[in-house]
Amino acid sequence: MTRNPIRLVSALAAGMLAVGLTGCGSDNPITPAGTTTAGAGAGAEIIVGSANFTENVLLAEIYAAALRSTGANASVKPGIGTREVVVKALQDKSLSLVPEYTGNLLAYLDKSAAQTDPEEVYEALKTKVPSGLTVLKMSSAQDSDVLTVTQQTAQQQNLSTLEDLGPKCGEFVLGAAGEWKQRWEAKIKELYGCTFKEIRTTDAGGPITVEALKSGQVQVANLFTTLSAVKANNFVLLEDTKNMYPAQNVVPFGRTDALNDAGKAALDKVSGALTTEKLTDLVAAVELQKKNPADVAADFLKSAGF
């Protein structure tokens, strides 16, 4: 999710998030010892947007709570829409900040971008961000697109990499978000000689895609590396040996005028504390343990020293 942070979700997922978001907000802002209430953006509301999937909602809650720890008036607005909508919302100031992913944001801003290494993607991204917008410190945490098969398919077809998959793609139906075909069909053919029997639109790594893979409606699914359903179902992640998908490090993306130095420092501290392993565990706490995203965010920030 390709990694589009703006994912489509099923009614089931939307319902889960609606429950999880009940009561989320600024009732119990985290204030670190020695911090005054005058901080980043004090007075002006900072609206942290999120996509309508668990991880992005959780990241938005983390960002908002971190900002509130500096005295800022920060709230979360979930389920914004496509990247086109998000960028416009940032530019017209109806949003202040969103959690993003370096590789897909770069691909959106520069369709000719070919960087795949995390640092190279990030450095290129900083040069492509529109005037008035900025990316802050990126996290080492990544949530990358990955093509996935069941254990049974992997064993029967001897699959562990996309190079193994390439010659056999004509036998398989791929389940992925609607934008996958436009973004990656030509690329996977170029790199791996892969042309799927069919590309079926499911959702962007959500419950519809997971169920389609489990039930055999599709034999290959585009999922994401931090998705708790991958481990829960023992799905096999096919190694992208030729780096078709770019690095997807979590990064705050927002307006340059939305935050003062205290707010930027708080978000940099969040990015410094996030790892892929930690993010995977946080997502599982919401998806599998059914914890409130705001509560999970608060626990993470306490462990990070906020």
Fold (topology level) of 11-142+248-303 = D-Maltodextrin-Binding Protein; domain 2 (3.40.190)
Name residue 255's beta-bridge partners.
133
CATH number given to 145-237? 3.40.190.120
Domains of the chain, residue spans: 11-142+248-303, 145-237
pTM: 0.79
- Do the Cβ atoms of 207 and 214 come closer than 8 Å? no
Enumerate residues 6+ apart whose C-beta is below 8 A from 15. Answer: none
- Please give the chain's pLDDT, 306 residues, in tens: 444 444 433 333 334 333 333 333 333 333 333 333 333 445 689 999 998 788 999 999 999 999 999 999 999 999 898 888 999 999 999 999 999 999 999 999 998 999 999 999 999 999 999 999 999 999 999 999 999 999 999 999 999 999 999 999 999 999 999 889 988 999 999 999 999 999 999 998 889 999 999 999 999 999 999 999 999 999 999 999 999 999 999 999 999 999 999 999 999 999 999 999 999 999 999 999 999 999 999 999 999 999
Equal fold, 11-142+248-303 vs 145-237: yes
